[in-house]
């Protein structure tokens, strides 16, 4: 049975963890689906892992449409979620137009990075039948403003701001919250308070789902390895084994542990 938005809500209601991995092509999309991955993210991380760029900023709408079409052609049973790339949703009009392009390419949900300034766009999208994942915490498209890849929401004031942003976006209609690179305690708090499924990447063990970049769980990514990354190929013994090991570890609550989380 294919994963839907309602599936993710049901998982949360039952306290059942779900898995998410990035996918950029039909071959891996089919494999991830066969291995039981619940959500496939066509991430703008493709700019770094496929195109060799230093950040996600140069990724274009054409890139995202193309790779969404590739993943969708595999007809995965996973829910397909796609990033709106840098500055493609700067205004509500742009956001609606570009989200429509991704949905027509095969996405079943769009993901956008930012804070509560996105609320009106989230509202307009959901009113028009476009499911939305709101990405908070470390938002890679804002790396030039953030000044580096650092843990976000540290300190009481910053944490309260992020909680308020999450609540506002859910009120606007966001179906899912994604938290990246925040303390475990903040990840726990937001997951408990927002009322929608929360996906974490470096957000501690208590979020409803976990996401990683596919190349990271295979141990083939180049450059700096973030704390929240784990190489599952060593224990899985093959690409398929690594994907299944990741899926199992997430659903059993074994990943992430304290070594792959941020205290505070």
111 annotated ligand binder: yes
d(CA 91, CA 89): 5
How many other C-beta atoms lie within 10 A of the C-beta of residue 30? Answer: 18
Given the residues 77, 180, 193, 235, select the one marked as catalytic. 180
44 annotated ligand binder: yes
Residues in a beta bridge with 179: 136, 200
45 annotated ligand binder: yes
* Beta strand residue intervals within the chain, DSSP E: 18-22, 39-42, 79-83, 109-113, 132-137, 176-180, 198-201, 209-212
Q: Shortest CA distance to 81 belongs to which of 197, 221, 241? A: 197
113 annotated ligand binder: yes
Q: What's 140's DSSP letter?
A: G
CB 47 within 8 A of CB 55: yes
Active site annotation includes 180:
yes
Residues in a beta bridge with 12: none
How far apart, in Å, are the Cα atoms of 198 and each of 42, 146, 195?
18, 23, 9
Residues in a beta bridge with 135: 113, 178
Q: Residues 6 or more apart from 221 whose CB is under 8 A from it?
A: 49, 213, 215, 229
Calculate ∠ Cα 100-129-176, nearest 5°.
95
d(CA 40, CA 32): 8
Q: Binding-site residues for 3-methyl-2-oxobutanoate, please?
A: 44-45, 83, 111
Q: Binding-site residues for Mg(2+), please?
A: 44, 83, 113
Q: Which residues are catalytic?
A: 180
Q: Binding-site residues, please?
A: 44-45, 83, 111, 113
């Amino acid at each position: 049975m294919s994963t839907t938005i309602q599936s993710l809500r049901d998982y949360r209601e039952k306290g059942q963890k779900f898995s998410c991995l990035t996918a950029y092509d039909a071959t891996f999309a089919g494999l991830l689906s066969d291995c039981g991955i619940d959500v496939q993210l066509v991430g703008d991380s493709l700019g770094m892992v496929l195109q060799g760029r230093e950040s996600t900023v140069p990724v274009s709408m054409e890139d995202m449409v193309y790779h969404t079409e590739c993943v969708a052609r595999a007809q995965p049973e996973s829910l397909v979620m796609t990033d709106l790339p840098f500055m493609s949703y700067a205004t509500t009009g742009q956001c609606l137009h570009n989200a429509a392009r991704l949905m027509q390419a095969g996405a079943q949900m769009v993901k956008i990075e930012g804070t509560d300034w996105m609320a009106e766009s989230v509202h307009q999208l959901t009113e028009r039948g476009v499911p939305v994942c709101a990405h908070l915490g470390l938002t890679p498209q804002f790396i030039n403003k953030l000044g580096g890849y650092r843990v976000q929401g540290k300190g009481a004031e910053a944490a309260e701001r992020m909680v308020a942003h999450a609540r506002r976006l859910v009120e606007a209609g966001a179906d899912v919250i994604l938290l990246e690179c925040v303390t475990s305690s903040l990840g726990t708090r937001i997951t408990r308070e927002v009322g929608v499924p929360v996906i974490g990447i470096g957000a501690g063990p208590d979020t409803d789902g976990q996401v990683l970049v596919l190349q990271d769980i295979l141990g083939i990514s180049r450059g700096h390895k973030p704390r929240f990354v784990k190489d599952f190929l060593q224990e899985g013994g093959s690409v398929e084994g690594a994907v299944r090991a990741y899926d199992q570890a997430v659903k059993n609550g074994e990943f992430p542990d304290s070594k792959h989380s941020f205290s505070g």
